[in-house]
Amino acid sequence: MQVVGFAGPARVGKSSTTEALKLEATSKGWEVIVLPFAGPLKREAERQGFGKKTDPAGYRKFCQEHGAEMRAQDSSHWLNLWIEDLKDVRQGHFNNDKSEKPLLIIVDDVRYENELEMIDGSGGYTFFLTPGERELPEADAEWRTHESEMMANMLIGNPKLAEQTFDYVVRNDGPVEDITRWSKAVVKSLISWPGDKDSVCDCEGCIASLENRPVNQDKINKELEDLLDELEGDDDDD
């Protein structure tokens, strides 16, 4: 089983990026399940009569207020319910005729530190999506100040911290073809990679393709210089 998590400010394109990755992984023989951390909270909202389609304002208010209330009582409340969902998904996968396929879990709504730690601890890959030069819809909306947006807001303003916190920081400011190309790189280089995270290639060319950005030529030149120095050192040893 492989786990991938997406974070980033609301409306940055986490859902569309998830769909692109799902399509590519499915085409390569994976069974893909999208399992949002907010799933248990969304089900509770529906049970309480706050339908996302029938009462969007009430739905958002309930999710924000009740979500925060339960998280204040136990920061892992919703995460623990998600873990139960994950157990059910895994059991269902291995009990059906798709069990021969590898299983990919995509979490499209990483918003809190303990959620990030959950994916990191499982050996999964984490991606922070940025809008690049694109202006986000409703950029000044009051709901963007809610605690569920705090991590994303902080990291958007601190790119270096985002790089330290997540495995990859992905630009999502181009045409849909860019994300399609990006999803192919992720499936090939990460999801289908037989080794662990530490063995994934970290050269500038590979990192750039996994972050959907142009190659940094200065970094490429530095890598080549280091390689030449290493080769010269080997010659001296001989």
pLDDT over 60 (residue 238): no
Indicate the DSSP class of residue 191: I
Q: How is residue 236 written in tokens?
A: 């001296």
95: which strand partners?
A: none
List, for residues 149-176, the tens digit of each pLDDT value.
999 999 998 999 999 999 999 999 989 9
- Side chain identity at 133, as an amino acid letter? E
pLDDT at 236: 60
User: What per-residue confidence (pLDDT) applies to 95?
Assistant: 82
Q: Which of 3, 1, 6 is nearest to 119 (CA)?
A: 3
The dihedral built from the CA positions of residue 110, 124, 191 and 89, taken in this order, carries a sign that is negative
Residue 209 has pLDDT above 60, yes or no: yes
Helix or strand (DSSP H, E) at 151: helix 150-156
| Lowest-confidence segment of 60-64, 135-139, 182-186 by average pLDDT | 135-139
Lowest mean pLDDT among 11-15, 181-185, 204-208, 224-228: 224-228
Higher pLDDT, 117 or 236: 117
Domain 2-36+89-200 carries which CATH code?
3.40.50.300
Give the pLDDT score at 31.
Answer: 94
Domain ranges of the chain: 2-36+89-200
Chain Cα centroid distance, residue 34: 11
43 token code pair = 């089900």
Residue 208's pLDDT band (cuts 50, 70, 90): very high
Which of 110, 225, 213, 107 minimizes the C-alpha distance to 170? Answer: 213
pLDDT at 215 over 90: yes
Q: Is the pLDDT of residue 85 over 80?
A: yes
Cα angle 124-129-131, degrees, rounded to a multiple of 5: 175
Lowest mean pLDDT segment, chosen from 10-14, 149-153, 229-233: 229-233
93 CB neighbour count, 10 Å cutoff? 17
pLDDT at 237 over 70: no
